[in-house]
Structure 1
């Protein structure tokens, strides 16, 4: 008997919310008020494009902050590209929506967590947490993160 895959449907809806939000920001060119985003993604996911030096530093996952300065935000059906400043060095990034792990806007205590499932992570590799793991934990504590684990069938 075929079962309804509510988990995948929820993840698709959450990715759609982020896509719409980022498109609205791209259209306006700036974030409203005190809003800012912490976006964590799987750096090993197929299609992620980041500079080699960032990949070496964050071999499993990376958290970016979209706040005061960003440039070239472009949203597609599959993901988004953005230029961010890393130590006075602007760097272009491309992040597929399927690579997302968390999305947090601490200004309004909003957060989403994407549970990684095999078909979502075709090239994911097991690696230790990056050196900013403590900061990631603090970010997650600031916002209420929606987790789908409690809804999954055991």
Structure 2
């Protein structure tokens, strides 16, 4: 088999991480449109991830956060996103490099991407995007009257809302999307 000196697998993964970056950038500017919301799973051990010691102890390998009702001060750069969330009634600020993201899922339209984080799997060289499995182990948080309206991410300098049961960030350690998700693999687009 010929050797891929261009590393198309890495180029494709970078392009798909660009989709995540673009969606989050749009959410900063315009809020979350319609029913869109995001499950983002990331490797908490990856270089550049910044979270409190409390959260790192609780989620030593990976963490899934939900950006839906209760988040604030979302900001996006070329290489990272930063967001404020409440965990157990305690406001936290997370900094997540795009390269640490293992999964992205928008249950409102059943769209998802899953990535192998370099250096975190059994074969660190295999970093091409993978299809998501679809067990129904991750469920979106139930909306509540006290929840912040969709798309109301707050700008820089805002204070977090008072944390109550509706203000809790959803955190899951299983990155699988809700049942029935169809994820398009790169093979579907390749000429055969």
Query: Normalised by the size of structure 2, how large is the TM-score?
Result: 0.64
| Structure 1 residue ranges without an equivalent (≥5) | 122-133
Is the contact made by 2:43 and 2:117 (CA closer than 8 Å) also made in structure 1? no
How far apart, in 2, do the equivalents of 1:100 and 1:109 lie? 18
| Count of residues in Structure 1 that have an aligned counterpart in Structure 2 | 138
Deviation sequence 1:8-57 (CA, Å, 0-9, x none): 111110111111111110112x2111111000000000110011111111
How far apart, in 2, do the equivalents of 1:12 and 1:51 lie? 27
Is the contact made by 2:43 and 2:100 (CA closer than 8 Å) also made in structure 1? yes
Is the contact made by 2:81 and 2:95 (CA closer than 8 Å) also made in structure 1? yes
CA displacement at 1:140 relative to structure 2: 5.2
Higher helix share: 1
CA displacement at 1:143 relative to structure 2: 2.3
Deviation sequence 1:116-147 (CA, Å, 0-9, x none): 333997xxxxxxxxxxxx43365253422345
Q: Which aligned segments of 4 or more residues in structure 1 are displaced greater than 4 angstroms?
A: 146-151
Query: Normalised by the size of structure 1, how large is the TM-score?
Result: 0.79
> 1:90 and 2:70 equivalent?
no
Q: Superposition RMSD on alpha carbons, in Å?
A: 2.6
How far apart, in 2, do the equivalents of 1:102 and 1:62 lie? 10
Deviation sequence 1:58-108 (CA, Å, 0-9, x none): 110000000012111110011100001212222100000000000000110
* Structure 2 CA distance for partners of 1:101 and 1:150, relative to 1, 3 Å: farther
Residue in 2 that maps onto 1:124: none
Residue in 2 that maps onto 1:62: 63
Higher strand share: 1
Larger Rg: 2
Residue in 1 that maps onto 2:11: 9
| Structure 2 residue ranges without an equivalent (≥5) | 125-136, 139-173
Secondary structure at 1:118 match in 2: coil
